[in-house]
A and B are shown apart, each in its own frame.
Chain A
Amino acid sequence: MDYEAVIGLEVHLQLATESKLFCGCPTKFGAPPNSQTCPVCLGLPGVLPVLNEQTVDWGVRVACALNATIGQIMKFDRKQYFYPDLPKSYQISQYDQPLAQHGHLDIVVDGQPKRIGIRRIHLEEDAGKLLHEASATESFVDFNRTGVPLLEIVTEPDLRSADAAYQYLTELKAILEYLDVSTCNMEEGSLRCDTNISLRPPKATTLGSRVEVKNLNSFRAVKLALEYEATRQAAALDGGEPLPQETRLWNAKAQRTEPLRSKEEASDYRYFPEPDLVPFTLEAALVERLRQALPELPAQRRSRLQSAYQLSAYDAQVLTQSRVLADLFEGALRCGASPKPAANWIMGELLAYLNAKGLEPSAVKLRPEWLAHLVELIAQGTLSGPMAKAVFLQMVERGLDPVQIVAEGRLAQIVDPGALERIAEEVVQANLKSVADYRSGKVNAFTYLMGQAMKRSQGKANPQQMAELLKRTLHNDGGPTP
């Protein structure tokens, strides 16, 4: 039977504030273990939390960008459970009066627009990190991450396919990037995602057994895990097998989900209002001020690029996927580049480079004026084809203006007729057989000779000039013109 998948996503986003949610420790990733802690985030006896105002501002901005209703009053609650990475044995989170609720995010699935409801957005503190690989009998704890501010964004179960989930995550990440509140990096753990999926017969209104999947390290993993689960659950339902409500882990190596090894203890989090923190009233005036100050978001930018520069919807989508790329594009335009070539370089060579190296756009220090200069150099004829690509590569890897690269002299295109003539002569002398072939009518021989000429010039010969001069040389030597 064909089942309908009902999917929800829970994203945890680390806010890249200067200090943690309730104390002054740094939030930076990659510091030496246990070097970014203090009595407060370590949960030592006697300590108390004090809320970081920036986390509230940023949380409100995210909520506005996701069209959510900001709570008039918000408060914090304790969520209680025992785990070695949780120093106080409770997490300060938000339960019944969160930062925001009832938002939405619009995506496109199979060419159709779809609105995904966002149930709630709330603030909470992160836990530490547990490391397990090194030993079979022990685990190791690094408390640097305890107390780092998290924004939890929970969807309604409005997603209906793994692809839709992927689209949602991509668009959400773009929005969050535009807001500049997080490094949004799944590898580093500043953006984490859990998903849940249940199947039901088409047209059914009740929900099936919900399976939660954790341990997802990339958007791709989310997609694969959901596809796997959909297949697994469908097979179970078809076969009349029991499908328990459970939590499973994604095994990236084996490309499948697996049940938890330990017997799940029934978790009773015993939520109650955090007595060490007083409530917060989020004034409408403050919220409005933050909403007005929102930067242009991906969807708006997409529309604007399409209408202002006659870009296709697809091109606009690719370019705005990352704010870095969109900024690069518009920056290049401001420096005089035309839209089409600028777009092509970004969508073509740059993205190919990033994908091949597995890099985020922000990893590459590419200035908009450099891209504009590259486009200009090509338009002028100073650079062409393979040479332009070579210059682009140098631009990206060495972080240099292409004008500077060209001026270094090593990559200047050869346009001097004398030099080109000399190359043509040398090629003819060195390839007498091909020359004979060419003169006897084999057109391929010319292609071969051109290749030789370009090679001899280290790709620097201006192809049009080279071709012309080669032909002249071939004819000047006598022999019939084909």
Chain B
Amino acid sequence: MGVVTPEIVQRVARLARLQLEGQALAQMAAQLDEILEYMQQLQAVPTDQVEPTSHVVPLANVLRKDERGVSLPPETVLAMAPAAHPPFVKVPKVIDA
């Protein structure tokens, strides 16, 4: 185990709303560990004066006019929902709202 342990993976899983336990967790942790170790080779690449690229296309200032578009009919929105209580989408109770 170099980089991640099952405990770390479980914490990250929680962040991502995934549940992993037992054998599945151990196997995933081992695979992630191997992959992350491989990624660590980047540490050796000198990047001191290098700017990060977050956009590979040199565009800036893409804007649109403040104009109305077309909205969806409420029926369409509710039809997509796994559970609805028209006119709302329904979810289990949210505490502390």
Residues on A facing B (Cβ under 8 Å): 17-19, 23-26, 32-39, 42, 50-56, 82-84, 130-132, 135-143, 249, 260-262, 265, 268, 270, 273, 275, 277-281
With A26-B71, A51-B63, A281-B60 given, can you name 18 additional A-B contacts, CB distance below 8 Å? Answer: A18-B67, A23-B69, A25-B69, A26-B68, A33-B74, A34-B74, A35-B71, A35-B87, A37-B77, A38-B70, A51-B62, A137-B93, A138-B91, A140-B90, A142-B87, A275-B54, A278-B57, A280-B60
Q: Mark B51-81, 1 if CB is under 8 A from A, else 0.
A: 0001101011111111111111110011000
- With both beta carbons as reference points, the residue of chain B lying nearest to A22 in the complex is identified as B64
A53 touching B88 in the complex, CB below 8 Å, given contacts A132-B97, A139-B97: no
Contacting A139 at CB < 8 Å: which of B57, B59, B93? B93
What A residues does B71 contact at CB under 8 A? 24-26, 35-38
Pairwise interchain contact B89-A279, C-beta atoms closer than 8 A: no
What A residues does B63 contact at CB under 8 A? 50-53, 56, 280
- With both beta carbons as reference points, the residue of chain A lying nearest to B89 in the complex is identified as A141
Q: How far is the CA of A34 from the CA of B94 in the complex (A)?
A: 19
Name B's interface SS. loop
Residues on B facing A (Cβ under 8 Å): 14-15, 17, 54-55, 57, 59-74, 77-78, 85, 87-97
A279 touching B55 in the complex, CB below 8 Å, given contacts A17-B66, A53-B64: yes
- With both beta carbons as reference points, the residue of chain B lying nearest to A260 in the complex is identified as B96
Closest approach, in angstroms, between the C-beta of A283 and any C-beta of chain B? 9
Q: How far is the CA of A330 from the CA of B87 in the complex (A)?
A: 46
What B residues does A143 contact at CB under 8 A? 77, 89
A-B Cβ contacts below 8 A, count: 127
Pairwise interchain contact B68-A39, C-beta atoms closer than 8 A: no
Closest approach, in angstroms, between the C-beta of A27 and any C-beta of chain B? 10
Contacting B72 at CB < 8 Å: which of A39, A54, A82, A130? A39
- With both beta carbons as reference points, the residue of chain B lying nearest to A81 in the complex is identified as B15
What A residues does B68 contact at CB under 8 A? 18-19, 24-26
What A residues does B55 contact at CB under 8 A? 275, 278-279
Pairwise interchain contact A51-B64, C-beta atoms closer than 8 A: yes
Q: How far is the CA of A24 from the CA of B63 in the complex (A)?
A: 12
Q: List 22 A-B contacts (CB under 8 A).
A: A19-B69, A24-B67, A24-B69, A35-B71, A36-B71, A38-B72, A132-B94, A135-B93, A137-B92, A137-B93, A139-B93, A141-B90, A142-B88, A249-B96, A260-B96, A268-B15, A273-B54, A278-B55, A278-B57, A278-B59, A278-B60, A280-B61
Contacting A279 at CB < 8 Å: which of B15, B60, B91, B94? B60
What A residues does B92 contact at CB under 8 A? 137-139
What B residues does A37 contact at CB under 8 A? 71-72, 77
Pairwise interchain contact A138-B90, C-beta atoms closer than 8 A: yes
Q: How far is the CA of A50 from the CA of B74 in the complex (A)?
A: 23
Pairwise interchain contact A138-B85, C-beta atoms closer than 8 A: yes
Q: How far is the CA of A215 from the CA of B1 in the complex (A)?
A: 45
- With both beta carbons as reference points, the residue of chain B lying nearest to A128 in the complex is identified as B89
Pairwise interchain contact A84-B91, C-beta atoms closer than 8 A: yes
Name A's interface SS. loop
What B residues does A55 contact at CB under 8 A? 66
Pairwise interchain contact B69-A139, C-beta atoms closer than 8 A: no
What B residues does A260 contact at CB under 8 A? 96
Q: How far is the CA of A51 from the CA of B55 in the complex (A)?
A: 16
Q: How far is the CA of A328 from the CA of B66 in the complex (A)?
A: 30
Pairwise interchain contact A261-B95, C-beta atoms closer than 8 A: yes
What B residues does A132 contact at CB under 8 A? 93-94, 97
Pairwise interchain contact B69-A262, C-beta atoms closer than 8 A: no
What B residues does A249 contact at CB under 8 A? 96
Contacting A141 at CB < 8 Å: which of B59, B60, B88, B96? B88
What A residues does B96 contact at CB under 8 A? 249, 260-262
Closest approach, in angstroms, between the C-beta of A281 and any C-beta of chain B? 6
Closest approach, in angstroms, between the C-beta of B96 and any C-beta of chain A? 5
- With both beta carbons as reference points, the residue of chain B lying nearest to A249 in the complex is identified as B96
Q: How far is the CA of A109 from the CA of B6 in the complex (A)?
A: 55
A32 touching B87 in the complex, CB below 8 Å, given contacts A26-B68, A53-B64, A261-B96: yes
Q: How far is the CA of A117 from the CA of B63 in the complex (A)?
A: 31
Pairwise interchain contact B61-A34, C-beta atoms closer than 8 A: no
Pairwise interchain contact B93-A136, C-beta atoms closer than 8 A: yes
Indicate the member of A32, A36, A37 with the most B CB atoms within 10 Å. A37
What A residues does B95 contact at CB under 8 A? 261-262
Q: Which 8 A-B pairs have the closest CB atoms?
A: A24-B69, A140-B88, A54-B66, A53-B63, A33-B87, A273-B54, A141-B89, A278-B59
What A residues does B57 contact at CB under 8 A? 278
Pairwise interchain contact B66-A19, C-beta atoms closer than 8 A: yes
Q: How far is the CA of A275 from the CA of B66 in the complex (A)?
A: 22
What B residues does A131 contact at CB under 8 A? 88
